[in-house]
Structure 1
Amino acid sequence: MAIFFIIVWTIWKERNLRTFGNSSTSIKDLKDLVLLRLGWWISGWADDFPYSLSDISRNPDCLLWNGCGKTGVSHPMSQIPISWCPPDINCIKWNVDTSVNPLESSSAIGGVLRNHRGNFLCLFSSPIPFMEINCAEILDIHRAIKITLSSNIYKNSKIILESDSSNAMLWSNSEVGGPWNLSFHLNFIRNARLKNLNINIVHKGRNANFVADSLAKQGLHRQSEFIAWL
């Protein structure tokens, strides 16, 4: 029943986007968005549901789970890996990702902050100027750090930040290098890493970044930044 309402809600919001925003979302992105929203809803009422948001996206058959550790189809739970790994109990974790659409010359960033239980603490999704994807990932890391520094609750926490761009990770962790036109952002990141935050910036594949990836894709259709503290 939840799936029905989420699909109807998603179609209604897409209708408004096309009617009033002069924009549209691809069928694939709409499907991903339905699965993402369903995962969020499930996390609110089914604490014993054994699958993550990325599991639902990669294998929607897991939604046939019957409460006994099996999906009801020929996909045992052990064959569906849990891609997102929670941080240690004394840490919080940012996952950030970037989406670039060269056909429309648009780029966007997105990120999600979670604790060791997997609870969402903060979400952001924002359009940015069109640029190369590794450069966009620098803006993504910069935005997550800036949001963290604005929070009196989390800025003193031990933080892990995962990006699927190895180049952006290397530039952020080095003292020099990186795109010259992003030197301001890189210097901000480096200064925060060395002086202001207890943060570890690491590379992680996109399969562990499903929520951030979906938020970045949503950002392609936004006119301004969306940010929510949860």
Structure 2
Amino acid sequence: MHPPPEVMEFNVDGEARGSTGQSGIGGVLRDHTGRVLCIFSKFIGNTDAITAEMQAIATSCDISAFKPELEGKRIVFVSDSQTAVSWINSSGFSNVEHSKTNYNILCLLCKLGQASVEFNPKDTNFSADRLAKQGAEGGGDVMRWSLS
């Protein structure tokens, strides 16, 4: 299912091998027609799953906030981590370990203007999941844009 015509959707995911192991992040930005505008995959070292998910959201916000072609666009960042999404959308965020990342995400969302972070279950995030797994395997960092 594609987002409405005025919305772009950035599906993101974080992957950690074991409770704290090799980790990667990945994401796919699509327009309302389903056309892929950006993909990324990155190895982020050894960490846990929630840290990887927070990093995936932060990275997608960061690369979107500084892309002039996306200025003024409504972007929905979609994660399959209900915990990460609730931390970002909560006015009373209290997890000290992730507070800096959370603050950075909130600043980037403000810069983007018409952006939000939403939860969607894992079964809707296949491409981002695959890219995060590729990152965790150390398959080499990837960033590709297709805006035209």
C-alpha separation between the residues in 1 aligned to 2:36 and 2:139? 24
Instruction: Structure 2 unaligned segments of length 5 or more: list them.
Output: none
Does the CA contact (< 8 Å) of 1:175 and 1:190 recur in 2? no
C-alpha separation between the residues in 2 aligned to 1:229 and 1:123? 7
C-alpha separation between the residues in 2 aligned to 1:180 and 1:226? 30
Q: What residue in structure 2 maps to residue 89 of structure 1?
A: 5
| Structure 2 letter corresponding to 1:173 | N
Q: Does 1:163 align with 2:86?
A: no
Provide the identity percentage. Answer: 29
Matches within 5 A, 1:134-213: 134-213=50-129
Does the CA contact (< 8 Å) of 2:19 and 2:49 recur in 1? no
1:118 CA displacement: 0.3
| Structure 1 letter corresponding to 2:118 | V
Instruction: Structure 1 unaligned segments of length 5 or more: list them.
Output: 1-84
- The match for 1:130 among 37, 46, 60 is 46
Does the CA contact (< 8 Å) of 1:109 and 1:137 recur in 2? yes
| Structure 2 letter corresponding to 1:214 | R
C-alpha separation between the residues in 2 aligned to 1:100 and 1:227? 20
| Structure 2 letter corresponding to 1:164 | D
1:200 CA displacement: 1.7
C-alpha separation between the residues in 2 aligned to 1:227 and 1:178? 32
1:223 CA displacement: 6.3
Over the aligned positions, Cα root-mean-square deviation in angstroms equals 1.8
1:214 CA displacement: 0.5
Q: Which of structures 1 and 2 has the bigger CA Rg? A: 1
Does the CA contact (< 8 Å) of 1:135 and 1:179 recur in 2? no
- Normalising by structure 2, what TM-score? 0.90
Q: Count matched residues.
A: 146
Q: What residue in structure 2 maps to residue 221 of structure 1?
A: 137
Cα deviation digits, residues 63-99 of structure 1 (max 9, x gap)? xxxxxxxxxxxxxxxxxxxxxx211101100000111
Higher relative CO (CA 8 A, sep ≥ 6), structure 1 or 2?
2
Q: Does 1:98 align with 2:7?
A: no
Residues 178 and 227 of structure 1, relative CA distance in 2, 3 Å threshold: farther
